[in-house]
Amino acid sequence: MNRAMCPGTFDPVTNGHLDVIERASMLFGEVVVAVALSPDKGGGPLFGVEERVAFIEEAVSGLSNVTVQPFDGLLVECAQEIDAKVIIKGLRAVTDFEREFQMAQLNYRLDKTVETMFIMSIPEYAYLSSSAVKEIARHGGSVKGLVPDAVCEALAARLHQAR
């Protein structure tokens, strides 16, 4: 099976992530979206891993070859477990490159049979990130069109609670 994985923290998933996932689903027989627990990233995720998985599951429900699952530990070990030979990452502006290059090199060192491939962001989403979405929402700005509607609502509810 021609299986790829799209890993990330997805806190929360953005329309930029979803564009990459959809384009990967057209290139590979099966795509597994792997949602990292990432408990330490940026002071801890805003959304629990089950919530992050649920947002993506709802958003990709129309893509029959895409599944979503949480993962903890090393990415290459998750790739081995699900028998994915390709890791797909999105690349936005050139600022992503250094971090992605480092991760790709380290993953290659850990397992040479797993290839990392990049899908370039479309210009509309080139400057979109989960952190920017949270910052806008935290200050009461609209993130409609940047994330799925369910995520818009969850952000408002979560950040309103936090105030």
Binding site for ligand PNS (CB under 6 A): 7-9, 36, 38, 74-75, 103, 106-107
Identify which of residues 15 and 107 has a Cβ nearer to ligand PNS in the complex.
Answer: 107
Q: Tell me the β-bridge partners of 35.
A: 8, 70
The single residue of 25, 89, 130, 134 carrying the catalytic annotation is 130
Catalytic residue list contains 41: yes
Q: Which two tokens stand for residue 73?
A: 């530990």
H helices of the chain, where? 15-27, 49-59, 75-82, 97-110, 130-138, 149-162
The single residue of 41, 131, 142, 160 carrying the catalytic annotation is 41
Q: Which two tokens stand for residue 64?
A: 């029959």
Catalytic residue list contains 17: yes
Identify which of residues 28 and 71 has a Cβ nearer to ligand PNS in the complex.
Answer: 71
Question: Distance from CA of residue 106 to its chain's centroid?
Answer: 19
My answer on whether omega of the bond before 148 falls inside 30° of 0, hence cis, is no
Q: Compute the least distance from the CB of residue 18 to ligand PNS, in Å.
A: 14
Identify which of residues 75 and 152 has a Cβ nearer to ligand PNS in the complex.
Answer: 75
The single residue of 52, 92, 121, 134 carrying the catalytic annotation is 92
Catalytic residue list contains 138: no
Q: Tell me the β-bridge partners of 120.
A: 91
Distance between CA atoms of residues 4 and 42, nearest Å: 27
Catalytic residue list contains 139: no
Supply the residues annotated as catalytic.
17, 41, 92, 130
